[in-house]
């Protein structure tokens, strides 16, 4: 599994069950609201909104929910005030962890996130303590098929602005600059390749390999608890866990 988006790959394997679909839909609607609020309601002119809509469609968020979220974001509909926050800290083994949140009550969310870090042997840090180690990138995860190779995929997306194509055990991961997200997405669509996931993601510049089972287990627990929190949109980290250890945790 590649290091540049290890948690995204792990989440890709850990498919969400239907019982969690309502929570996921709520999070994706919030992401659309914030994206529309920050950059307007036209996905062709707002890359962040386009990516949020792509994520929502991938998990079958109803079209009317998407439309309603966009209208809320641009102020056509009322609703509670939502704030966008980023929590930074260190997980077990000193790995960098960055959690992006959307909340209607930051006084409630902050202590809850701090408690999750502490519960798993980590520590919530100050603003900027780990953000320097992450770059915002477009990320596409493509499930392997019989006629798709890394070389053919590279030919399809590199000219459209992709930075890299990395092969993992069961998928391909494509990264690009945020400005090229739309062109890479269109190139895949023209080639009739539908990503399993497509999003704007925080990718670590430097990674930390974790070879201890107990430490790795605590890291995965931290990531899962953060990811499961109602206010957390995305969680990013710089860890790499070898497949032999990851298989034991799974």
Q: Are residues 146 and 235 in the same domain?
A: no
Q: Which two tokens stand for residue 115?
A: 């408690």
Domain count, the chain: 3
Q: Are residues 57 and 170 in the same domain?
A: no
The share of the chain scoring above pLDDT 90, in percent, equals: 74
- The pLDDT of residue 1 is 37
Q: Taking the model in full, what pTM does it have?
A: 0.83
Q: Residue 10 falls within a domain, yes or no?
A: no
| CATH code of 54's domain | 1.10.10.200
Q: Are residues 200 and 138 in the same domain?
A: yes
Q: Are residues 125 and 145 in the same domain?
A: no
Q: Are residues 172 and 138 in the same domain?
A: yes
- pLDDT tens digits, 82-109: 999 999 999 999 999 999 999 999 999 9
Q: Are residues 194 and 148 in the same domain?
A: yes
Sheet hosting strand 197-204, strand order edge to edge? 162-167, 171-176, 134-143, 197-204
Contacts of residue 131, defined as CB under 8 A and 6 or more positions apart, other chains included, come to 86, 88, 98
- The pLDDT of residue 13 is 52
Q: Residue 210 falls within a domain, yes or no?
A: yes
| CATH code of 191's domain | 3.30.70.980
In order along its 250 residues, the chain shows pLDDT tens digits of 344 456 666 664 554 444 467 788 999 999 999 999 999 999 999 999 999 999 999 888 999 999 999 999 999 988 778 999 999 999 999 999 999 999 999 999 999 999 999 999 999 999 999 999 999 999 999 988 767 889 999 999 999 999 999 888 788 999 999 999 999 999 999 999 999 889 899 999 999 999 999 999 999 999 999 999 999 999 999 999 988 898 888 6
- The pLDDT of residue 16 is 47
Q: Are residues 23 and 125 in the same domain?
A: no
Q: Residue 67 falls within a domain, yes or no?
A: yes
Q: Are residues 143 and 191 in the same domain?
A: yes
- The pLDDT of residue 250 is 66
- pLDDT tens digits, 152-181: 999 999 999 999 998 887 889 999 999 999
Q: Residue 8 falls within a domain, yes or no?
A: no
Q: Are residues 125 and 215 in the same domain?
A: yes
Q: Are residues 140 and 197 in the same domain?
A: yes
Q: Residue 109 falls within a domain, yes or no?
A: yes
Q: Are residues 141 and 38 in the same domain?
A: no
Q: Are residues 191 and 218 in the same domain?
A: no
Q: Residue 192 falls within a domain, yes or no?
A: yes
**Where in the sequence is the domain holding 142, given as residue range(s)?**
133-204
């Amino acid at each position: 599994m590649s290091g540049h988006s290890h948690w995204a790959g792990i989440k890709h394997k850990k498919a969400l069950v239907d019982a969690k679909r309502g929570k996921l839909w709520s999070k994706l609607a919030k992401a659309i609201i914030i994206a529309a609020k920050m950059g307007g309601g036209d996905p062709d002119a707002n890359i962040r909104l386009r990516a949020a809509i792509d994520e929502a469609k991938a998990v079958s968020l109803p079209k009317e929910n998407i439309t309603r979220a966009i209208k809320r974001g641009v102020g056509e509909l009322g609703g509670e005030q939502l704030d966008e926050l980023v929590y930074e800290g260190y997980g077990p083994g000193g790995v960098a962890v960055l959690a992006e949140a959307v909340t209607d009550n930051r006084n409630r969310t902050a202590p809850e996130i701090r408690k999750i870090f502490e519960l798993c042997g980590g520590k919530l840090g100050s603003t900027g303590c780990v953000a320097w180690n992450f770059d915002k990138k477009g990320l596409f995860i493509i499930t392997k098929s019989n006629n798709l190779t890394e070389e053919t995929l590279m030919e399809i997306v590199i000219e459209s602005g992709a930075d890299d194509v990395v092969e993992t055990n069961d998928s391909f991961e494509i990264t690009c600059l945020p400005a090229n997200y739309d062109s890479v997405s269109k190139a895949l669509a023209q080639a009739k390749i539908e990503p399993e996931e497509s999003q704007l993601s925080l990718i670590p510049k430097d990674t930390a390999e974790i070879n201890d089972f107990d430490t790795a287990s605590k890291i995965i627990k931290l990531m899962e608890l953060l990811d499961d929190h109602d206010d957390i949109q995305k969680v990013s980290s710089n860890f790499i866990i070898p497949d032999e250890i990851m298989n034991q945790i799974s």
